[in-house]
Structure 1
C-alpha cells in the first residue's frame, strides 16, 4: 500500500509555545489539502530548545493531547519531536501517532550531550504501509543507531531535525553526509528540519536524493509515483 507524506519544515520560536502551536496548526491545515497519510514535523517543534533550558518538558502531556486530537480528528498519522520529562532528567524524543491519535512509537534520541537522558534502542511500528522507525537529527550519524536499524530492518525511517549550521544554509557537504549515512541504513529516509534554515529531503535506500525543498516549503512525497 502506497502512502503520501507531508514533510513540514515549520518555523519554530524557542520558548514560545503559543506561537509554535498556531504555526503547527496553520501548516497542518495547509498540508491536509494534499490528502497526506503522514504529516512529519521537526525536532522539538512546539517549544524549541536553548541550552540548557528544559522548561518545555513540562508541556509534554499537553502537547501530546493536542497533537493527538489533530491526528484523530483528521485520521492521519503524525510524527513530531518534543522534550519528554523522565524522573530527574529529560529526553529529546519523537512520537508517531496513528490515525486514532494513539502513540504507537516513541524514539528517545541517542546523540545528545550531558544533561539529557539518552536513548539506547530503536523500535519500530507496523503500519498499513510497512514497518516504520524514527531517529532524531544527530542520531543519523550514530554508530549504535546503525546497528539497531540493521537489526530491526524498517521499511521507512523518519528523521525530525533541528539543525542550524553556523554558516547558514545547509551545503553540499551536509547533503553528502546525509546521503552516505542513509546508504548505510538501507531504507527510504524522510528528513525534515526546523526553520531557520528549514528544508526537507527524501532519500532512497541507496542514499540517492529523490526530492527536496528549501526554507519553509512543505515537501509532499507520494510513494504511488515511485
Structure 2
C-alpha cells in the first residue's frame, strides 16, 4: 500500500537556496516507507506579482531540479514540488513530479488557471497532465485549478486513481480549500492529496499574505482521512487500494456512459 507525505512548509519568497535546503531537509527526515512527498505551490521560489519574479525563475534542466532528482533517488521517494519556471522569455507556475528512480525525467505541469496577480507575470499552461505514481494513475493540479469543474471532469474521463494538488491558499479562505479538496475527491471517486503552503509572505512593496496550510488527504468518498492545521510538520497517510475499489463499487459513476462530459 503506497504511503504519501506532505511536509507542510513555510516558503521564503525569492530565496531559492533557502527553500531548496528546506525541501531537502524535510525529505531527509521522512520515514523510509514514504513513497511520495508533496510540497506546496511555488515551494522552491516563492511568488510576488512583479518583475522580481524573473530573478528566481528556474529552468527545467537547472541544478535545482537535478538536486531534487538526486534527493528523490537517495530517499527512494518521488517528489512533487512547485516553482516559477522560465522558458525563454515566458514564466510559468510549474509543478514537477520527480520520480524516485533517479533515471527517469521529471514530469512537469503548468498551472492552467491563474489567480489574481499571477495573470500579470506568468503565462497559463495549456495541457492537463497525468502521471503514473506509486498511488496509481494521478492527475496534477495547482491551487485555483480546484475551482474549475471541467478539470475534474477531464480527470474523471481518464479514470485517475488520485489527484495531487499543490497550493498556496490564503488563510482567510481556508474553508474553500478544504471543501474543494473534498469535492474533487468525491466527484471523481479518487484519492486527493493537497499540499498547502503555511506561514506568511512579508516582502517589501508586496501585499502581506497569511497562508492557510491545512494540508489534507481525502478519501474517495470525500471524507478527510488525515489533515494538518498551520504547523510546519509532516502529514503521512497510507492509501489503501481496497478503499478505492470499495468506494468505486459503492459509487459507480464510471458505469455511466456520459461520465466526465464537459
Both structures adopt the same fold (TM-score exceeding 0.5): yes
2:178 equivalent to 1:175: yes
Partner residue, 1:219:
235
**Alignment correspondent of 2:56:** 56
- Could you list the runs of 4 or more consecutive aligned residues of structure 1 that deviate by over 4 angstroms after TM superposition? none
CA contact (8 A) 2:185 2:220 kept: yes
CA contact (8 A) 2:130 2:139 kept: yes
Given that 1:96 and 1:105 are in contact with CA atoms closer than 8 Å, whether structure 2 keeps it comes out as: yes
Which residue in the other structure is 1:155 paired with?
A: 161
Q: Quick check: 1:189 aligned with 2:188?
A: no
SS at match of 1:54: helix
Unaligned runs of 5+ in 1: none
RMSD: 2.1
- 5+ long unaligned stretches in structure 2: 200-210, 244-262
TM-score scaled by structure 2? 0.77
Cα separation, 2, equivalents of 1:136 and 1:103: 20
Equivalent-residue separation in structure 1 for 2:137 and 2:224 (angstroms):
21
| CA shift for structure 1 position 59 | 5.8
Q: Give 1:104 deviation, angstroms.
A: 4.3
Decide whether the 8 Å contact of 1:77 with 1:96 is kept in 2: yes
- Figure out how many residues of one structure are paired with residues of the other and give that number: 221
Aligned to 2:107: 105
CA distance in 1, matches of 2:183, 2:228: 19
2:122 corresponds to? 116
Q: Tell me, in whole angstroms, the C-alpha distance in 1 between the residues paired with 2:126 and 2:5.
A: 28
Deviation at 1:107, TM superposition (A): 1.1
Measure, in 2, the Cα distance between the counterparts of 1:185 and 1:140.
Answer: 13
With normalisation by structure 1, the TM-score equals 0.88
Question: Contact 1:105–1:124 (CA<8 Å) still a contact in 2?
Answer: no
Whether the aligned pair in 2 keeps the contact of 1:123 and 1:152 (CA below 8 Å) is no
- Any conservation in 2 of the 1:9–1:200 contact (CA below 8 Å)? yes
Distance 1:119 1:18 in 2: 26
User: Cα–Cα, structure 1 residues 114 and 176, in superposed 2: closer, same or farther, change >3 Å?
Assistant: same
Partners of 1:17 and 1:47 within 8 A in 2: yes
Q: Which residue of 1 aligns with 2:259?
A: none
Shift of 1:128: 4.8
Aligned equivalents of 1:138, 1:22: Cα separation in 2: 27
